[in-house]
Amino acid sequence: MNKYVVKNIKRPDEQIIAEYSKLDVSTVHEAQGKMGLLSREIKSISSGAAICGPAVTAVCYAGDNLMIHAAIEVCRPGDILVISTIGENAIGMIGELIVMALMKRGVKGVITESGIRDAAQIRELGFPIWTKAIHSQGAVKTRGGWVNAPAVCGGAAVNPGDLMMADDDGIVVVKRDDIQSTLEASKERMRKEEGTKEKIARGELSLDFYQLREVLKRENVHYYEDEDQVKA
């Protein structure tokens, strides 16, 4: 099996990343057809954290963080390290020292379907991490894997250079080839939401502006003036 590290990948334009950084995960997920979400089991260790940037992927064997160390070398400022594992595990494959090394490289954050440790120290450093578990058991460094290879993290396919977004609502991946079209769709969705907010502020009901009364009628939902009519 050919294991490898790809040193250089194509990354989205910085202006595109800046535009996406104004959006949120839920908006982008909806705008691209309700696709690209990673598992809800992968959660932020700090409330209010949000990141947006290109994926550098590390594919590791469960409990072995050798390829995370290899990935540090090829990370560039603004990258997001996405870690997938071959085999399920919740071992603390990243701790304070690796986080310090990633921060030195300018990495924005980590998304991992494995576990982390040194959570208090990482929170103090202010480094954003989305992880499946916090667990003191440490990793070994004995098995080679892949850096910047196609990966599956949290049930979603992630390729190097794809755009990753993570916030309090979860994590979404935007395929590199879809970045421009998804951005335009996301902006359009935001414009529509602004119009909806104006309707709500005017006191309009969602039943009316979403045209949901016909759905209630189709579903045979009846209106009664009071409880006595229901019992009659």
Report the alpha-carbon distance of residue 138 to residue 115 in Å, rounded: 10
117 appears as a binding residue in the annotation: yes
**Domain annotation covers residue 142:** yes
Q: Report the Cα–Cα distance between both ends of the chain, in Å, rounded.
A: 73
How many distinct structural domains can be found in the chain? 1
163 appears as a binding residue in the annotation: no
Confidence (pTM): 0.93
227 appears as a binding residue in the annotation: no
**Domain annotation covers residue 216:** no
Whether the CB-CB separation of 138 and 54 falls below 8 Å is answered with no
**Domain annotation covers residue 43:** yes
Q: Which of 116, 120, 160 is nearest to 138 (CA)?
A: 116
Q: Checking DSSP bridges between strand 51-61 and strand 80-86, what pairing results, if any?
A: parallel
134 appears as a binding residue in the annotation: no
- Tens digit of pLDDT per residue, the chain (232 long)? 899 999 999 999 999 999 999 999 999 999 999 999 999 999 999 999 999 999 999 999 999 999 999 999 999 999 999 999 999 889 999 999 999 999 999 999 999 999 999 999 999 999 999 999 999 999 999 999 999 999 999 999 999 999 999 999 999 999 999 999 999 999 999 999 999 999 999 999 999 999 999 999 999 999 999 988 887 6
Query: How many residues make up the chain in this entry?
Result: 232
- pLDDT by residue (tens digit) across 191-208? 999 999 999 999 999 999
Whether the CB-CB separation of 157 and 59 falls below 8 Å is answered with no
178 appears as a binding residue in the annotation: no
**Domain annotation covers residue 14:** yes
**Domain annotation covers residue 207:** no
154 appears as a binding residue in the annotation: no
**Domain annotation covers residue 232:** no
Please list, in sequence order, all residues whose beta carbon lies within 8 angstroms of the beta carbon of residue 123, skipping any fewer than 6 positions away. Answer: 45, 46
**Domain annotation covers residue 225:** no
Q: Which of 29, 173, 12 is nearest to 78 (CA)?
A: 12
**Domain annotation covers residue 231:** no
Domain of 89? 4-185
**Lookup: tokens for 61:** 């064997």
**CATH for 81:** 3.50.30.40
Q: Which of 148, 12, 144 is nearest to 71 (CA)?
A: 148
